[in-house]
């Protein structure tokens, strides 16, 4: 049930943060159980993968409906781009970080020792699972209220700048969908007087230089490098298998 913050109720620390009291506490436990725990505890009754699948769908519907009402003059393409910004893995990870969700996840010792609590995929999956649990426990309205409350900062941002695209975030989202290594931005040079410097930056990923850019600040140079990388898409050519050599006829 959704909690009125002005009326205190007996809740565990996470329920206090999300302002939702579970009727069925097992759903919350399932949402917070990483699949790695079953590797160390045989016959463990559940993990959060099914709830993740459900929560993803609930988030998609809730965000789509909200954007549909926010921007009545936007076409399908514009709305799709906005939704992608909101429900991308980095965006969901940020929502999980805001709740410190990682500290509540139950996971195997091996997963934890390898940085599992800070892993973007783990945090994003846990957020989706939590949404799925709220949906089953309290229905769609309860889940939608939770989603819109958690994503209110993002909605506020895009309301003022709906056409803004974050090249660095978009590039990272594309690359980490291939494998978890994040792009690395390196400043190659800086020239000019203190009041009018020019920075040149390159973006690297898995030993491959994806692009270079320049700007009047390090941040501008990084954004420019990301834009060049998005235009060149060099990671695609690297991912292609080498051509097979033709066997010589004897």
Q: Which residues are catalytic?
A: 56, 128
Nearest to 133 by CA among 112, 147, 113, 148: 147
Nearest to 171 by CA among 213, 129, 218: 213
Give CA–CA dist 65/25, Å, rounded. Answer: 29
Length of the chain: 250
CA distances from 38 to 44, 127, 188, 238 (A): 6, 20, 46, 36
CA distances from 171 to 91, 116, 207 (A): 13, 23, 16
Please, what is the angle between helix 167-178 and helix 89-98, to 10°?
Answer: 100
Task: For the chain, state the CA radius of gyration.
Answer: 22
Q: Report yes or no: 171 and 183 within 8 Å, Cβ to Cβ.
A: yes
CA distances from 33 to 26, 102, 129, 158, 204 (A): 11, 11, 9, 33, 34
Question: What distance, in Å, lies between the first and last C-alpha atoms of the chain?
Answer: 77
DSSP string of 197-209, one letter each residue: -EEEEEEEETTEE
Give CA–CA dist 213/187, Å, rounded. Answer: 10
């Amino acid at each position: 049930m959704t909690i009125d913050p002005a009326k205190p109720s007996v809740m565990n620390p996470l329920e206090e943060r999300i302002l939702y009291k579970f009727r069925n506490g097992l759903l919350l436990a399932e949402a917070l159980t990483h699949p790695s725990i079953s590797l160390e505890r045989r016959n463990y009754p559940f993990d959060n993968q099914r709830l993740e699948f459900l929560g993803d769908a609930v988030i998609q519907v809730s965000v789509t409906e909200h954007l549909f009402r926010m921007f009545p003059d936007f076409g399908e393409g514009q709305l799709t781009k906005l939704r992608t910004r909101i429900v991308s893995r980095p965006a969901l990870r940020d929502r999980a970080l805001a709740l410190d969700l990682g500290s509540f996840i139950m996971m195997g010792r091996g997963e934890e020792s390898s940085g599992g609590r800070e892993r973007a995929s783990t945090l994003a999956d846990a957020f989706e699972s939590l949404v799925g649990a709220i949906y089953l426990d309290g229905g769609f309205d309860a889940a939608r209220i939770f989603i819109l409350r958690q994503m209110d900062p993002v909605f506020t941002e895009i309301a003022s700048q709906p056409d803004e695209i974050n090249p660095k975030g978009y590039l990272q989202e594309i690359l980490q969908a291939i494998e978890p290594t994040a792009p690395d931005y390196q400043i190659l040079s800086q020239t000019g007087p203190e009041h009018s410097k020019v920075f040149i930056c390159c973006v690297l990923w898995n030993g491959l230089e994806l692009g270079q850019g320049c700007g009047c600040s390090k941040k501008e140079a990084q954004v420019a490098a990301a834009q060049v990388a998005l235009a060149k898409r060099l990671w695609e050519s690297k991912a292609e298998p080498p051509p097979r050599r033709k066997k010589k006829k004897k």
